[in-house]
Amino acid sequence: MVYGRAKREELVGAERLAAEQAGYLPVRHQAIKWFVIAFAPVIPLGTYQVLRARQQFWTTEPPRYAIRRVGWDWRQVAVHYLVAYGWLVLLIALVR
């Protein structure tokens, strides 16, 4: 499962033209791919840049994406863990 939308950036120049000609939006963001259990992130598998394909406004087709592996973003991984499990730690601390 892929979670997150960090470091959103608008493509420029040749990258923008290539993305538009391939049918993708000229915007990319960063996401973390996770091994999950019951939709809860357990083990991070990698950091990816994501491009979303253009699609019609009203459609029954699922969105298409192109992803490319990039270097680890440990800050984003930490934020995901905090969001996923921080409430549980806070709840346990309040109960004690």
Q: What is the pLDDT of residue 21?
A: 92
- Under DSSP, the state recorded for 59 is -
Task: Write out the DSSP string of the chain.
Answer: -EEEEEEEEE--HHHHHHHHHTTEEEEEEEEEEEEEETTEEEEEEEEEEEEEEP--SS-SSPP-EEEEEE---HHHHHHHHHHHHHHHHHHHHHH-
Domain ranges across the chain? 2-95
Res 85 pLDDT > 70? yes
CB 76 within 8 A of CB 50: no
The mean pLDDT value for 76-83 works out to: 91
Whether the per-residue pLDDT at 5 is higher than 80: the answer is no
- The predicted structure's pLDDT at residue 54: 86
> Is the predicted pLDDT of residue 1 greater than 80, yes or no?
no
Residue 14 has pLDDT above 70, yes or no: yes
Query: Which pLDDT tens digit goes with each residue over 22-56?
Result: 999 999 999 999 999 988 899 999 999 999 898 88
